[in-house]
Amino acid sequence: MEIVNLTLYELRQKIRDGELSVCEVLEALGERIAATDSTVGAYLDYNIERALSEARNVDLSLPLGGLPIAIKDNINVKGELCTCASKILTGYRAPYDATAIARLKSAGAIPFGRLNMDEFAMGSSTENSAYQLTRNPWDPSRIPGGSSGGSAASVAARSAFAALGSDTGGSIRQPAAHCGCVGLKPSYGRVSRYGLVAFASSLDQIGPLARSVRDCALLLSVIAGHDPADSTSLDAPVPDYTANLREDLRGIRLGIPKEYFSEGIDSHVRSCIETALQHCKELGAEIVEISLPHTPYAISTYYIIAPAEASANLARFDGVRYGYRTANPADISELYFNTRAEGFGSEVKRRIILGTYVLSSGYYDAYYLRAQKVRTLIRRDFEQAFQSVDAIVCPTSPEPAFPIGERTSDPLKMYLSDIFTISANLAGICAISVPCGFAQINGKKLPVGLQFLCNFLEEQKLLSIANAYEVTTPWSRQSPPI
Amino acid sequence: MKKKEEYVATIGLEVHVQLKTRTKMFCGCAVEFGAEPNTNVCPVCLGLPGSLPVMNEEALRLTALAGLMFGCEIGPVCKFDRKNYFYPDMPKNYQISQYDMPFCLGGEVPLHTLAYPKDAQKAIANPGKKVRLVRIHLEEDVAKSFHLENASGIDFNRAGTPLLEIVSRPDIETPEEAFAYLTVLQQVMVYGGVSDADMEKGQMRCDVNVSVRRVGDEGLGTKVELKNLNSISGVRRALAYEIRRQIEVLCGGGRLEQETRRWDDAQGETVLMRTKESAHDYRYFPDPDLMPVKTERFVAEARGRMPELPWAKRERFVKQYGVSEYDAGVLADDLALAAYFERAAAGSKKPKAVANWLLNDVLSALSSAGKGIGDCPVSPEGLLELVDTIESGVISGRQGKEVFAEMFATGKRASQIIEEKGLKQLSDVGALEVLCEQVIRDNPGPVADYRAGKAAAINFLKGQVMKLSKGKANPSVVSEILEKKLAG
Ligand SMILES: [Zn+2]
């Protein structure tokens, strides 16, 4: 078996058993990136040489000893560029490690490359990167999803064993679904946000993308936990998420939200999901219909709260202290205006303007305040639902990956591709996407993702349920043709 | 033409006070005045991408303490909001502040006579006035900009320092009341250890709004904001000028504009900075990086740190030590002076005499030496010893002055100086009787005069005893002995 096809877990075992050396692994990985990334475009940059030199001192007995992990470009890795795929952070180097990175490093992992994304994580296709396009490894004419498109594409293309991404409205799960890998969004506060460049502070979470649920569990066990540097991080014990992962669903009640299956789901996706639900039943699960009545308001709520927070979070990029600065401004206003006009892409500007508008005096109550109230109702929908079911199951995305360029001029249609993922962020609960089959379109196999959602801080249950599904189906072990 | 006397002023003050914490509001950087630029900085206070704020609990405690000291209402929960505006001295281009759920609401600042400027203390229009507060909230300070010849520089050391904003109601009507208000604020901050509140160091800054209106008019006049006020006396001068200016404009039939004016202390005038701008929309919203704060614990901890407030201390000094109300005021005005006094007065039978010595001799010696009470060479215990030595008649008051000067110059104890200089008064009755008998023997003339009813003649005899004793005889003991012997 080819090295690059191994899961993180298998890789760790082979390294520990001395079957593989970290050097061999890194060299194989370097060759794979060189062979695929000119097509896929997942990496903004990577450094195998430095990884090799770091590997020499690594303690292989550590939980992630010697394992290379690729990192989304909005997470600070000390000494590395951190641009959020934006021109406005051209040349900006992280002066410190994000807490998640520090934890990876102290567990022996080697962050070795920066992954492409939608600028400031705003987008669902990675087309909003200021630097390059990332293509879907299953069909390079299609988008990989977003905003963690580079993370999902690299893991799927076997040019990374696992990656960190960030999820504000589906940015881990939707690209994982489109690329055929596993993507986990932890509960809000489970993983420290310190060092994740903020998009929408009350929604952002760092999470893993990998080729198996067990790999995600392994990474979560390392990066989760309370961080005194993040006031919103939770002081709750971190179990070993890889322990006791089940392989059946006996005694598990799965809820299907009727609002999610009404319309607008692509027929290929629908049939994959139906097969998957049948499979869950065969694994012993009881499937019941539930209601999440405030679902229709999720997208508008999200597109008020997230841009509002973003409009303040992104105000610091002004050309005064770091990053891109316009040439020869006449005065301070021109410095601000021109730096931001030239430095931000159009989707980022659209959301800053939207967020500024909804916070403006006279509009605040009608938009922001109301959105916060609806958010509470959405959270209650889930609380209610989880009183009768262990997990909620639904598609991750209503359709498979769409062609590059198809929606760049239609932001509203683009926003709708997050319809099944956004609610988990609004409610703060955890959710995971696992591959559940393929849509055959124009002779190409396009992965479809199945989403499980569990209550706040129930990552262990979530991973266990997803694992049962994943290990009893063949989908996560498929390699793209590239 | 209207007359000047027909106008009254309305003054509102917005005071910013830097809290006396070891570290900044949301990060671990040191709060330090005068450090090299940009040395007390980190990703958080520089607003670098990915950094997050973490609350400084000492700042919350001090804010609670400020609220308790001014009798504010403190709700069970307060929250922090982002105040959005672009300015180069704002690292994030939003300031973490408090909008609709501030830490403290209401409260009042009692003005007392001595807080007024010295020359205004005789004629206080409204004695015992209390200025009501709107609110006290907690926020982060911004950085400091420097304008160089061809560029600007920003020092982020100050960015993120915890800052109280204290907003008064427009209760203040004269520059002197504004002076007294700021003096009391400063005093109370120092009393509570909440802030050093030194205006020259920028630890206390204030913005002033002032308008004038005709007596009897219902609405307020056009508001003018004053900037660049760097001392409490500067605030008084600026307000006096500005009120006069506004009244003159109105008396001359002119109209006032809503504007911001800069006080030029050297020229003694306010200068137009800008006229009314379109009201800024700060787009406040709750900071999602910070949880709302439950205040109960901080209030409880602050309660344990409540100092005796200046007004309570004044009252107690009058009652406990029998000092005059004026002296109590002067003593309580300065926390260090009050503490000095209490240490000296506590062991004294004549605390009033201690107060007199402290307020006259000690303070004047300090002021000519250019020293503060904190570095007084005479300790409170030393002063107590001196005053007791005088009060018990060991040395005379005049000798006391000499001894004090020596104590102040050398730091020696009174007893040591008295010993060295042989200043001790002779009060031993046996020894003095011998001297008195000799004087009576040697001066039959004055003795006869005294006995013939010329009472003043005793003074001559007393003088002779003093001479014989080389000035050491205790005059009152001598008088007693002479009177007895001459009568007998
Ligand atoms: Zn700092």
Looking at CA atoms only, how far is residue B99 from chain A in angstroms? Answer: 13
Residues B19 and B149 in one domain: yes
Percentage of residues in chain A with pLDDT exceeding 90? 95
pLDDT greater than 70 at residue A40: yes
Looking at CA atoms only, how far is residue B16 from chain A in angstroms? Answer: 24
> So what's the pLDDT on residue B21?
97
User: What phi, psi does A449 have (nearest 5°)?
Assistant: -110, 145
User: What would the pLDDT profile of A283-292 be if each residue is shown by its tens digit?
Assistant: 999 999 999 9
β-strand B73-74 against A430-441: which pairing, if any?
A: unpaired
Residues 6+ apart with CB under 8 A from B209: B11, B12, B13, B14, B170, B223, B224, B225, B226
Identity of the residue in A74, A195, A312 whose CB atom sits nearest the CB atom of B82: A312
Q: Is residue B229 part of a domain?
A: yes
User: What would the pLDDT profile of B313-372 be if each residue is shown by its tens digit?
Assistant: 999 999 999 999 999 999 998 889 999 999 999 888 889 999 999 999 999 999 999 999
This complex has an ipTM of 0.96
**Nearest residue to B130 (alpha-carbon basis) of B149, B111, B114:** B111
Q: Rounded to an integer, what distance in angstroms lies between the CA atom of residue B397 and that of residue B412? A: 18
User: What would the pLDDT profile of A156-207 be if each residue is shown by its tens digit?
Assistant: 999 999 999 999 999 999 999 999 999 999 999 999 999 999 999 999 999 9
Q: Look up residue A260 and give its amino acid.
A: Y
At B168, list the tokens.
């008064």
- Residues in B closer than 8 angstroms to A92, CB to CB, are 49
Residues 6+ apart with CB under 8 A from A95: A76, A78, B43, B48
Residues B220 and B242 in one domain: yes
A202–B55 CB contact, under 8 Å: no
Which position among A129, A147, A154, A212 bears the catalytic label?
A147
Residues B437 and B369 in one domain: no
pLDDT greater than 90 at residue B88: yes
Residues B344 and B467 in one domain: no
B281–A360 CB contact, under 8 Å: yes
Give the Å distances, CA to CA, from B136 to A91, B60, B71: 42, 12, 11
- Residues in A closer than 8 angstroms to B154, CB to CB, are 320
With b meaning 16 or more CB within 10 Å and e meaning fewer, what string describes B233-244?
A: bbbbbbbbbbbe
Q: Is A147 assigned a catalytic role?
A: yes
| Sign of torsion over alpha carbons B301, B304, B305, B310 | positive
Domain that holds residue B480: 429-487
Which of the listed residues B401, B421, B441 is the one where a domain comes to its end?
Answer: B421
pLDDT greater than 80 at residue B270: yes
**From ligand 1's centre to the CA of A170, what distance in Å?**
33
At B177, list the tokens.
């009341």
Which of the listed residues B255, B276, B300 is the one where a domain comes to its end?
Answer: B300
Q: Is A262 assigned a catalytic role?
A: no
Q: What is the mean pLDDT of residues B30-51?
A: 95
Q: Rounded to an integer, what distance in angstroms lies between the CA atom of residue A450 and that of residue A445? A: 16
Number of A/B CB contacts below 8 angstroms equals 92
**Nearest residue to B126 (alpha-carbon basis) of B141, B110, B137, B103:** B110
* Stronger pLDDT, A235 or B152, i.e. the higher one: A235
pTM (2 decimals)?
0.90
> So what's the pLDDT on residue B398?
80
Chain centre distance of CA A208: 7
> So what's the pLDDT on residue B474?
80
A228–B54 CB contact, under 8 Å: yes
> So what's the pLDDT on residue B364?
92
Identity of the residue in A194, A316, A360 whose CB atom sits nearest the CB atom of B92: A316
DSSP result, A81-128: B--TT-GGGTT-B-SS--HHHHHHHHTT-EEEEEE--SGGG--SSSTT
**From ligand 1's centre to the CA of B304, what distance in Å?**
29
> In terms of CA atoms, which chain A residue is nearest residue B88?
A320
Q: Does A231 touch chain B (CB under 8 A)?
A: yes
A320–B154 CB contact, under 8 Å: yes
Which position among A159, A171, A212, A311 bears the catalytic label?
A171
| Helix, strand and coil percent figures for chain A, each rounded to 5 | 40, 15, 45
Instruction: Output the 3-class SS for B416-433.
Output: HHHHHHCCCCECCHHHHH
Q: Is residue B167 part of a domain?
A: yes
Residues 6+ apart with CB under 8 A from B189: B17, B66, B195, B196, B197, B204
Residues B245 and B365 in one domain: no
Coil, helix or strand at residue B233: helix
Residues B75 and B177 in one domain: yes
Look up the CATH number of the domain holding residue B468: 1.10.10.410
pLDDT greater than 70 at residue B146: yes
Number of domains in chain B: 3
Helix axes B429-442, B475-487, angle to 10 degrees: 60
- Residues in A closer than 8 angstroms to B93, CB to CB, are 312, 315-316, 318
> So what's the pLDDT on residue A449?
98
Residues B417 and B433 in one domain: no
Q: Is residue B353 part of a domain?
A: yes
A230–B288 CB contact, under 8 Å: no
Q: Does A96 touch chain B (CB under 8 A)?
A: yes
With b meaning 16 or more CB within 10 Å and e meaning fewer, what string describes B256-275?
A: eeebbbbbeeeeeebeeeee
Question: Do B158 and B143 touch, CB atoms closer than 8 A?
Answer: yes
DSSP class of residue B396 equals: -
**Nearest residue to B78 (alpha-carbon basis) of B292, B284, B285:** B292
> So what's the pLDDT on residue B52?
98
Q: Is residue B102 part of a domain?
A: yes
- Residues in A closer than 8 angstroms to B94, CB to CB, are 312, 315
The dihedral over CA atoms of A399, A403, A409, A413, expressed in degrees to the nearest 10, equals 0
**From ligand 1's centre to the CA of B39, what distance in Å?**
10
Residues 6+ apart with CB under 8 A from A333: none
Average pLDDT of chain B to the nearest whole number = 92
Q: What is the mean pLDDT of residues B96-102?
A: 97
A189 torsion bin: left (phi>0), alpha (psi -120 to 50), beta (else): left
With b meaning 16 or more CB within 10 Å and e meaning fewer, what string describes A123-154?
A: bbbbbbbbbebbbbbbbbebbbbbbbbbbbbb
Identity of the residue in A84, A89, A316 whose CB atom sits nearest the CB atom of B93: A316
Looking at CA atoms only, how far is residue B286 from chain A in angstroms? Answer: 9
At A19, list the tokens.
């079957």
How many CB atoms are closer than 10 A to CB A436?
27
Question: Do A230 and A251 touch, CB atoms closer than 8 A?
Answer: no
pLDDT greater than 70 at residue A304: yes
Residues B214 and B164 in one domain: yes
Q: Look up residue B252 and give its amino acid.
A: G
- Residues in B closer than 8 angstroms to A322, CB to CB, are 48
pLDDT grade for B466, boundaries at 50, 70 and 90: confident
User: What would the pLDDT profile of B389-423 be if each residue is shown by its tens digit?
Assistant: 888 777 878 888 888 998 999 988 888 888 787 77
Domain A3-246+431-477 -> CATH class: alpha beta
**From ligand 1's centre to the CA of B53, what distance in Å?**
9
pLDDT greater than 80 at residue B93: yes
Q: Look up residue A62 and give its amino acid.
A: L
DSSP result, B370-389: T--GGG-SS-HHHHHHHHHH
Q: Rounded to an integer, what distance in angstroms lies between the CA atom of residue A393 and that of residue A329? A: 53
**From ligand 1's centre to the CA of B257, what distance in Å?**
41
Average pLDDT of chain A to the nearest whole number = 96
Parse chain A into domains and list their residue ranges: 3-246+431-477
A359–B285 CB contact, under 8 Å: yes
Residues B268 and B318 in one domain: no
A231–B55 CB contact, under 8 Å: yes
Residues B94 and B153 in one domain: yes
Residues B121 and B262 in one domain: yes
User: What would the pLDDT profile of A269-284 be if each residue is shown by its tens digit?
Assistant: 999 999 999 999 999 9
> So what's the pLDDT on residue A1?
53
β-strand A110-115 against B7-18: which pairing, if any?
A: unpaired
| Sign of torsion over alpha carbons A260, A262, A264, A265 | positive
Q: What is the mean pLDDT of residues B257-275?
A: 92
Q: What is the mean pLDDT of residues A299-322?
A: 97
Note if the bond before A147 is cis, omega within 30 degrees. yes
> So what's the pLDDT on residue B488?
66
DSSP result, B288-326: TTSPPEE-HHHHHHHHTTPPPPHHHHHHHHHHHH---HH
pLDDT grade for B4, boundaries at 50, 70 and 90: low
Q: What is the mean pLDDT of residues B234-255?
A: 94
Cα A102-A106-A108 angle, rounded to 5 deg? 120
> In terms of CA atoms, which chain A residue is nearest residue B28?
A229
Q: Which residues pair with B449 in a beta bridge?
A: none
Looking at CA atoms only, how far is residue B28 from chain A in angstroms? Answer: 10
The dihedral over CA atoms of A266, A270, A271, A272, expressed in degrees to the nearest 10, equals 100
User: What phi, psi does A202 have (nearest 5°)?
Assistant: -85, 0
Question: Do A226 and A259 touch, CB atoms closer than 8 A?
Answer: no
Q: What is the mean pLDDT of residues B418-435?
A: 77
Which of the listed residues B399, B421, B443 is the one where a domain comes to its end?
Answer: B421
Q: What is the mean pLDDT of residues A389-407?
A: 96
**From ligand 1's centre to the CA of A228, what distance in Å?**
15
**From ligand 1's centre to the CA of B57, what distance in Å?**
15
Q: Rounded to an integer, what distance in angstroms lies between the CA atom of residue A126 and that of residue A150? A: 8
pLDDT grade for B2, boundaries at 50, 70 and 90: low
User: What would the pLDDT profile of A215-242 be if each residue is shown by its tens digit?
Assistant: 999 999 999 999 999 999 999 999 999 9
> So what's the pLDDT on residue B277?
66
pLDDT greater than 90 at residue B280: no
The label of the residue with tokens 């049962």 reads: A468
B84–A359 CB contact, under 8 Å: yes
A308–B52 CB contact, under 8 Å: no
> So what's the pLDDT on residue A86?
98
pLDDT greater than 90 at residue B180: yes
A231–B290 CB contact, under 8 Å: yes
What is the radius of gyration, based on Cα positions, of chain A?
Answer: 21
Residues B288 and B317 in one domain: no
Residue B52 CB-density burial (10 A; 0-12 exposed, 13-18 middle, 19+ buried): buried
DSSP result, A314-368: GGG-SSSSSS---SS-SSHHHHHHHHHHHHS-HHHHHHHHHHHHHHSTTTTIIII
Q: Is A105 assigned a catalytic role?
A: no
pLDDT greater than 90 at residue B150: no
